[in-house]
Structure 1
């Protein structure tokens, strides 16, 4: 059995003191391949202030000369082992157990690889996560034991992608297009002309989605 991945707790960028997470809504940022914890952290200026934001660093170093970090190897989507995505998601859950167990709620916002890991974590523990934002990412093909429960819970998921994104293969996009509405309360939008990136328009949509999540969470509380 492969050794469990461990996230570097000291690399996490927090929008507030770590001790402030207790009883507050936590939003985790999961960057894409070749980036690091600094990549998505500036997005916090577009997000509701009520969240404590924690930007995580992926556990792996991609092959030289690629910079940054990675959540799992990318040796080609067709031959990729879905267990690599699962190991990364398990590492995120273990980090939450160790450093954010007292949060009032936990949401996930991931880009590309980070988006895939976000959905995978939600599939592993559907009761753990209040929602997910998947930017230019996808749902990993294959089945997980938590999928049935996820389909019953139907947590809110925002999925945004661009028409000119040539990084994520078409068959994975097609799979995600079918899979997400079956397992989540999907808010999806395709942005004309957008490449494998994030636009101002998309960030506005994400902020509106998160505002709705806050309203719903505070109503439940």
Structure 2
């Protein structure tokens, strides 16, 4: 099975000539979706970003549609190596395709959020911030955790009170782990299921606008 990312499947918000001078925001979709899923959020995101929506490399078992970053069937879903492998593929993509873009931010939903956070843990110097929508931090130690805790990049975490997809122990672990490693902000949305609401998108927009301001100030 070819588990590398398909560069031809990436959806871009800007033409090639308009990307290099813009900070890059990489979108990572959830289980059973594809690159078109989160690309629909582009109108809600600051236009100053060059947005790239990636397609996960794995095909879920029939009859599930779309693609996945790592398997969730059986005991395999409890193995953090799968999440780490997916995060390494994202790092490889940024090395091969996005070398002209600095800084880089990550925005993921569910599986994509878990992979985003894992990529940031593997290479804390690579990413300026992350947006975690209905995702979680993968349990277990990663070599870059100490460096991440020292850098403390901004992370937005949004989730719903009625999300019955992410297990409670992963929410609890993320709640305990994130404040010690990142500059955490976000909200728990009353009544929201495993999805994204307009209020959450408005909050994400505020977060991303602040990131642009900070990046401009850093010059």
User: Structure 1 length normalisation: TM-score?
Assistant: 0.96
Q: What is the SS of the residue equivalent to 1:115? A: helix
Q: What is the SS of the residue equivalent to 2:139? A: coil
Contact 2:2 2:57 in 1 (8 A): no
Moved more, 17-26 or 114-123: 17-26
What is the distance in 1 between the residues matched to 2:89 and 2:99? Answer: 14
For these two proteins, the number of residue pairs brought into alignment is 219
Q: What per-residue deviation string (whole Å, max 9, x for no partner) do you get for residues 97-124 of structure 1? A: 1111111210000000000000000000
What is residue 16 of structure 1 aligned with on the other side? Answer: 14
- Residues 1:133 and 1:79: Cα distance change in structure 2 (over 3 Å): closer
What is the distance in 2 between the residues matched to 1:79 and 1:16? Answer: 35
For 1:77-88, what aligned pairs fall within 5 Å after superposition? 80-88=78-86
CA drift of 1:77 comes to 7.1
**Aligned counterpart in structure 2 of residue 195 of structure 1, from 183, 193, 196:** 193
Contact 1:4 1:91 in 2 (8 A): no
Q: What per-residue deviation string (whole Å, max 9, x for no partner) do you get for residues 13-51 of structure 1? A: 000123433232000000000000000101010010100
Q: What per-residue deviation string (whole Å, max 9, x for no partner) do you get for residues 186-220 of structure 1? A: 00210000000000000000000000000000110
For 1:15-34, what aligned pairs fall within 5 Å after superposition? 15-34=13-32
Unaligned runs of 5+ in 1: none
Contact 2:71 2:77 in 1 (8 A): no
What is residue 118 of structure 1 aligned with on the other side? Answer: 116
What is the distance in 1 between the residues matched to 2:59 and 2:162? Answer: 27
What is residue 5 of structure 1 aligned with on the other side? Answer: 3
Contact 2:162 2:193 in 1 (8 A): yes
Contact 1:111 1:137 in 2 (8 A): yes
Contact 1:22 1:102 in 2 (8 A): yes
RMSD: 1.4
What is the distance in 2 between the residues matched to 1:116 and 1:24? Answer: 25
Q: What is the SS of the residue equivalent to 1:161? A: strand
User: Structure 2 length normalisation: TM-score?
Assistant: 0.97
Q: What is the SS of the residue equivalent to 1:206? A: helix
**Aligned counterpart in structure 2 of residue 56 of structure 1, from 54, 57, 66:** 54
What is residue 42 of structure 2 aligned with on the other side? Answer: 44
What is residue 95 of structure 1 aligned with on the other side? Answer: 93
CA drift of 1:78 comes to 8.5
CA drift of 1:79 comes to 5.5
The answer to whether 1:177 aligns with 2:175 is: yes
Unaligned runs of 5+ in 2: none
- Residues 1:18 and 1:83: Cα distance change in structure 2 (over 3 Å): farther
The answer to whether 1:166 aligns with 2:137 is: no
What is the distance in 2 between the residues matched to 1:153 and 1:159? Answer: 18
